[in-house]
Structure 1
């Protein structure tokens, strides 16, 4: 079982570009890109919190979930 970051879908849903999220969160564009493409091995909690706040997410399962 793997953890899937659903950021690509969330950004598309909100018609938001990665650079916009980077500006809102203060995270680097590289970090955002790695999260969008599920290419990150360790996901820093502070990054998830910043993204959740910027996208007004209240349930972490909207952002990450298990991939079967």
Structure 2
């Protein structure tokens, strides 16, 4: 169980590091990514970016 906690921690660390780089590349600003304010908070739902990254990961996995 401790291994999974370490893996999740490292994945979150990697995501927080890669997130600004992906924003510079244009991910997070695609037509299917939604930004809105509700209940005094800003919400972000990256539907199109998630699909694009999933397709990219699937293509890489298929090629390997």
- Pick the structure with greater CA Rg: 2
TM-score clears 0.5? no
TM-score under structure 1 normalisation?
Answer: 0.28
- Which structure is higher in RCO with an 8 Å CA cutoff and minimum separation 6? 1
TM-score under structure 2 normalisation?
Answer: 0.29
Q: Which has the higher strand share?
A: 2
Q: Which has the higher helix share?
A: 2
